[in-house]
Amino acid sequence: MGLRQDSSDTQNPVVPKPRKQFNIAIVGGGLAGLSLAIGLVQRGIPVQIYEGATEWTNAGAGLVFAKNSMAAMAKISPDIYAAFAKRSSGQGWESKKTTYMDYRDGSTDGDLITSVICANTGQESVHRTLFAKDLVALLPDGTFHMGKRLTAIDNRPDGGYTLRWANGQSTGADVVFGSDGIKSKCRQLLLGEDSPETTPKFAKEFAYRGMVPMEKAVAVLGEEFARNSMVNIGSGCLTTTYPVEKGTLLNLVACRSIGTWEHDEWVVPSSQEAVRKDFAGCGPVMQKVISMMDKPAMWALFDHPECSTFYKGRFALIGDAAHASTPHQGAGCGQAFEDALILCSLLEDEHVLSAAHVEDALEAYDAIRRPRTLKIVNTSRENGEICMKRGKDIGGDLGKIKASLDQRFHWIWHEDLDEQVQQAKAKMYEISEARPHTAVVN
């Protein structure tokens, strides 16, 4: 049995879908893994999801989404989009509803460089942890498991896998998806621990992060700058602010360029004095943003700009485990939902019945998703350079910065997701037909 499109007519269009003859384990309970799990469960595909943490944290705080990300959520499952809409915050002012971000000159009192428009949707943002908890609630009882830290994956004679956990237990699965974040153990196991692609690459910048009640933000920044999304561009630094939780909180991010990261840990405690020193010489608005950082810590920014493959056999990477990105295009997390959409669409295909067929689906997923996601990783790092007035051939020229910002997001936002699904399916059928052991013969 193999994969190919069935063009034959039928007298009875209401035919029950064949039951899938494989089960799936997802390693990592972030938004990538959760969205994939929900989509698979709702398509009748057996899945279990395993999270290494023993409890929830607020790491990462706010996340930004645009048109393509929200469309992917809805196509995976209307329930995911409903959970998102319950918590999401857009621009606070009606006049800015189609604005993605206002980019301002941080060396001044916030003079506008450009308003980047994302028609029909603008920008929406959520609190990461609260959104993730809402998604867990959409899964059947007994599907989501915490305290499962992966240590190894063994190959089984039948082509499946045995997952080994730090607590000494093990789990069997026919198919495995690694969605365990930028420090992914799955990435190490899939690419090889000695592969240079396994190690996250330092993006030569760090960030201070915070979240404050909107009332405090308004008192410090004023109505316009607090209730709407802003990026203030400085020399070697930037600040990003946007509302979350229906506008009741303001998410704060302040990034600073740095040549190397000398610490063993990625997050190290800091102080208000250090923050002020890092942003000395910036304009009044940026100074006000950093003044609200309570108990600041330095977060090193890393990414995964290269990956020779997202899969091997029936084992694949999704989300940050595959293509972790810096935050400078607000697109990294959105790509996790696109990953999940493509995988759900391939695995629910009526010809993908057994575990033997899954490898064709994963090869198609890799062919379609890897070029787009890695381009996003690399252009995000590039945009960080531009928004710190260090872009190649751009520097501090505000006219060139505006020209870049006005056009650089469109290819991300206006992706035809239905076409991407069809391309992935066509690729899967092509791969299957080329494999004699799986090809369907007329």
| Sole residue written with tokens 């696109």 | 338
Residues with catalytic function? 209
Q: Other C-beta atoms within 10 Å of 131: how many?
A: 22
Q: How far is residue 442's CA from residue 354's CA, in Å, rounded to a whole number?
A: 20
| 332: enclosing H helix or E strand | helix 332-347
With a CB cutoff of 8 Å and minimum separation 6, the contacts of 440 are 1, 2, 3, 4, 351, 432, 433
The tokens describing 90, both together, are 């857009």
Cα–Cα distance, 278 to 219 (Å, whole number): 24
Distance CA 147, CA 149 (A): 6
Cβ atoms < 10 Å from Cβ of 430: 15
For 257, 347, 366, the CA distances from 436, given in Å and listed in that order, are 53, 20, 21
DSSP tag of 18: P
CA–CA gap between residue 312 and residue 363 (Å, rounded): 8
Residue ranges of alpha helices (H) inside 119-184 are 128-136
- Going 216 to 240 to 183 to 74, the CA torsion angle's sign is positive
3-state DSSP assignment of residue 401: helix
Bridge-partner residues for 367, per DSSP? none
The C-alpha atoms of residue 106 and residue 150 are separated, in whole angstroms, by 44
- Encoded tokens for 267: 């997050």
